[in-house]
């Protein structure tokens, strides 16, 4: 089990209290709670939790809208809590970055699994996105070398790779430097 920092959002204060107590007993750190969606977003942005549990129908802004904002900003995964059958929200759940929900009343045996997997999967997605963005920068630098110095794709890549090895730095950092230098000319 991961010792994650969690924020809870729900309209029902008794649910917040009981869930907070349950999460603490499982080893999680509940760092804040709220009954308002807009206040919850402010708290999430400020406290940067590892995960958020939010009711689908929280006051002010829906749990799905909160999820889109928070996951879109790369802060953390949002686990949607539902009173009704999840099939009612199947399409919206599938459109989330992280497909994670818990049905009320919460099943203790599922909570750890859902929270920990949502967190691990979210981190993997962020890492993959970062690698994709780095790859795009490397390709951009390679393209600039090809057009500016009339190099073949292979020669441009070899040039960048050699610079990377000579400087003991990543291809990504070399690519950033190349882009910066060529754009200044």
CATH assignment of the domain containing 67: 3.40.50.2300
Residue 123 within a domain: no
CATH of residue 155's domain is: 1.10.10.10
Helix axes 37-47, 63-72, angle to 10 degrees: 20
Q: Write the pLDDT tens digit of every residue in 120-139.
A: 999 999 999 999 999 999 99
List, for residues 58-92, the tens digit of each pLDDT value: 999 999 999 999 999 999 999 999 998 888 888 88
In this structure, the number of other CB atoms found within 10 A of the CB of residue 64 comes to 18
pLDDT of residue 2: 79
Task: Give this prediction's pTM.
Answer: 0.83
User: Do 38 and 31 touch, CB atoms closer than 8 A?
Assistant: no
Examine the domain organization and report whether 100 and 137 are in the same domain: no
Does 134 share its domain with 79? no
Residues of the chain below pLDDT 70: 1
- Identify the domain containing residue 170 by its residue range: 128-184
């Amino acid at each position: 089990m991961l010792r994650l920092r969690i924020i809870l959002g729900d309209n029902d204060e008794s649910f917040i209290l009981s869930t907070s107590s349950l999460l603490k007993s499982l080893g999680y750190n509940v760092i804040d709670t709220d009954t308002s969606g807009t206040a919850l977003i402010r708290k999430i942005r400020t406290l940067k939790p590892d995960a958020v549990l939010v009711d689908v129908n929280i006051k002010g802004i829906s749990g799905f809208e909160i999820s889109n904002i928070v996951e879109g900003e790369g802060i953390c995964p949002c686990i949607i809590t539902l009173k009704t059958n999840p099939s009612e929200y199947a399409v919206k759940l599938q459109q989330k970055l992280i497909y994670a929900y818990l049905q009320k009343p919460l099943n203790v045996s599922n909570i750890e699994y859902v929270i920990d997997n949502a967190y691990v999967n979210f981190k993997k997605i962020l890492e993959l996105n970062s690698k994709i963005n780095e790859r795009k920068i490397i390709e951009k630098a390679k393209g600039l070398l090809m057009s500016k110095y009339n190099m073949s794709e292979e020669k441009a890549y070899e040039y960048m790779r050699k610079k990377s090895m000579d400087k003991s730095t990543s291809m990504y950092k070399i690519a950033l430097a190349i882009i910066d230098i060529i754009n200044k000319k």
